[in-house]
Structure 1
Amino acid sequence: MATEVKVPTLGESVTEASIGELLKNVGDAVAVDEPIVSLETDKVAVEAPSPVAGVITEFKVEVGDTVEVGAVLAVIEEGGAPAAKGEEAGRAAEQREEGKEERAEASAPAASSDASQTLSPAVRRAVLEHGVDPSTIKGTGKDGRLTKEDVIAAAKAKKDGGTIADAAPAQAATPSAPAGERREERVKMTRMRQTIAKRLKGAQDNAALLTTFNDVDMSAVIEARTRYKDLFAKKHDIRLGFMGFFAKAACLALKDVPAVNAYIEGDEIVYHDYVDISVAVSAPNGLVVPVIRDAQDKGFARIEKDIADFGKRAKEGTLTMEDMKGGTFTISNGGVFGSLMSTPIINPPQSAVLGLHRIEDRPVVVDGEIVIRPMMYIALSYDHRLIDGREAVTALKIIKEAIEDPTRMLIDL
C-alpha cells in the first residue's frame, strides 16, 4: 500500500517552506517517524517524518523547492520493497542500486566505516569528492548527523595535517581555484535568510532608529563570577555567565522605564507588565531569537539554563516556532565574536535592543587616578517614535549601574 508523506503543519501563520535537504534516497527503508525531508521555514528548520514503515518509492520534490502545508513530499510503499511494475519498477530498482553503490563508495576509505550511518545526498557527494571516511567525523547536525560542512572541515583538517575528529565545521565551502583565476559562486538565499533580510530592512524603513551608548566597568561582575562560579555550578549544574547579570539588569531598567518594554501597534502603544527577553543566538542558517519568558520572575540559574538550552538547540536545528514567538525586548551579544562597538537593529515589533560587546582592559579615571579596568561598551538601539532620548539614556544608565553594583539587583534599586 502506497502512503504519501506530506508537509506537516508548520506553526501559526506559517503556510509554506523550502526543501532544505533530502535525508533519504529512493529505495531506502524507513521506520515510523523517521525524518526523510528537512524543511526550512521563515524561522526554524523542521523535519518531515515518515508516517509508516516501508520503502521510499518516489520523491515529489527537490532541494530548493517551495512547498505549502499539505503538499506531497514523497511516496512510501508500506511493509517492504515497492511492488512497482514495468519501467517504474526498473527505475526504482536502478535508483536503489545507485544508492547502494554510493553508500559503498562513501564507506570505502576505511573498513571500520559505520554501515548503518545515513548520509544525505549532499553529504555523500562531499565525502566522495574529498575522499574522507565519514565514520571518523563527528557530526554536528541533529542527532549527530553529518552535514556537508562537517565533511569539508574534516577534509581541510586532513589536508593541513590535523585530525579529522578535531575538525570544526566550516562556514562555507571555498573551492580552491588555479592561480590567477577569479571565480564566483551563486547560492540561493535560504528562506530563513530571506526573512531575516526583510525584517531587518523593514525595521529600518518603519522605525525611527537611534542608538545611545555607555560603557560599563565589569570588575564587580567578574569578581562575583570568580568567587561563586564553582558553588553556582555545583548547586545548579550550570555555568554562571554574563548574560544572567545583563538579563536581570535589563528587567530593572524596563520596570522603571516601561516604554522601552513596549511597542507600537497601529495607533496604540502596547505596554507589558512582564519581560520576555529575546536572546539573539547564532544558528547554522542565520540568527535566531528564542525568548526567555517572564525573565522578571526567574533567577540567575533558570536564565542561564534557558540560554544554554537555546544555544544547544540552535546548533542542532531543533528550536521550534513557539520558542521564538513573542518577546518584548532583545539582548544581542556581539562580544562573543570580538565586536568592540555596534548599533544593533531592533527586532520588530519590539522597540529596543541591548547590544553587548567584548570586554577589554582600558585606562579609566577613578577618584582622580588613572587605573586599568575591564570595560565593555553597551548600546541601546530604540524606536524614537515611542521612546524619547531621556528614557533611552535612563534605561541604559540603570543597566550600567546594576552591572557595576550587582547588589542593586538584589534590593531592586
Structure 2
Amino acid sequence: MTTKHEQILAYIEQLEIGHKISVRQIAKTLGVSDGTAYRAIKDAETRGIVNTIERVGTVRIEKKQRSEIEKITFAEVVNIVDGTVLGGKEGLHKTLTKFVIGAMKLEALLRYVGPGNLLIVGNRDRVHQVSLEYGAAVLITGGFDATEEVKQMADFYQLPVISSSYDTFTVASLINRAIYDRLIKKEILLVEDLLATHGQPITLEPMDSVDKFHQLVRETSHSKFPVVEETGRIVGMVTAKDVIGLSASDRIEKAMTRSPVYVHPHTSLAAAAHEMVWEGIELLPVVDEQKRLLGIVSRQDVIESLQTMQKQPQVGETVHELSTRGFQEVLKEGTPVLRGKISPQMTDSLGILSTGVLTTLMTETCLRLLRKYHREDLVIQNFTLYTLKPVQLETMIEIVPKILELGRNQAKLDVEVLTDQQVVGKALITAQMIEK
C-alpha cells in the first residue's frame, strides 16, 4: 500500500514538463491535506523534478542526469540572479546551453546568438526582439523593464525574458559560479554512481529457511544477504556466522541481524566508507526513503571506486585543492614534506594563515607520508591542533609529518609547521584505515 506522500510524488512525476503546480491544487486533486501536499512538493524539489520560482510558482522540470548536472534551466537562472520573469513563463523549464553578453552592435551580435542561448543585455529593445526571433532568451540587467511588444513575443516564442537588478558583470559571475559549483558536485562520487554498475541484489525473506541460505551460498559464492519483506522493505542482514548452530529448517528471522545500518543513493562514497569502518561491516544496503532495498555496495567496491576517482582529472577546484595548489612536495631525510608560501587566499580577516587551511595542509601531508607505506585510504578520527605563533602573509612554511604509531587499522602522526626552522604550529592526528 503506497503512502499519500508517494502518491503525490507519482502524480507530480507524470505531469508534463513545464506544468505549474501548487499546494492547494494538489491537495484538492488528490484529497490530501495542505501540509502533506507541501511536504511532498518540497521532497520533489529536493529530487530535482520541480523548481520553485519567486513570483511565478512551482514548475515541473525535467530531472537532470548526473552527466548533465552542469546544465541549468532558465527557471534556475531566475533564482540565481534574483530576477523577475517579464514574459515567456511557459519556457522556464528549458535548458540553457550557453550565455552571451550583448556588449556589441546588433549586426555583430547575430553571429553569437542562437537557440537555447541566454542573452545578457541592458535596456536595448531592438536587441531583445531580435534575440527572441533567433530563439534565445533574454536577461535584462540593471533592473530595466521590457516593452509590451517584447513581452508578447516572449509569450509567443515561449522564451523567458528576465529582469535582474544586478549589473552585467555580477549576473555573469553568479551564473558562472552556479555552473562551477555543479561541476564540483559532479566530481563527488555518490552511492548511486556505484549502484548503477550493479544488478538486482539477491535477497532472502524472514520466513525463508536456513537451508535456502546455504543453497544461495553455493549458487553465488556470497556469504551475506539482505533480508526483505514482501514489499521490498529491508528488515535485516544475515551472514554465514549468524546461521552457525542452526538447523536447516530454522527460519532466517531467527538468525538475521535486525535494524541493519544502511545508506541512501545520495550518500557520498566517502561517508559510506566511513560508516563501514566505524560499524566494522563488509556490506551496506542502499535504500530509498521508505527503506525499500535498491541495492548493495561492498567495502571493496567503495575502496576501488574511491581509488579510481583519485586518479581522474578534476574540472572544478575545491577549497582543499586551492589550499594545496601553491605547495611543493620535497623529500627531507626520506620523508615527504610540503613546502610553500602563504598566499592572500589562505589568510583570514586578520591577515594570518587560516586555521582551516592549516589543518587541510597538515592532513594532506600525512596522507602523502602514509602512501609510502601503501596506506592509500583513511579517515581522520581525531585532530588536535596547537597554534604556537601566527603565520603572516607571504611567509614560507614547511610542514613535516612524523609517524608515532602505525598499526594495521590505525595510524598516529605528529605534524610540525616550521618557519625559518622555528616551530609555529603542531598537531597530533589519529587516522583510521579503510581496509578492503
Please give the range of the TM-score, normalised by the shorter of the 2 chains.
under 0.3
Q: TM-score, normalised by structure 2?
A: 0.23
Q: TM-score, normalised by structure 1?
A: 0.24
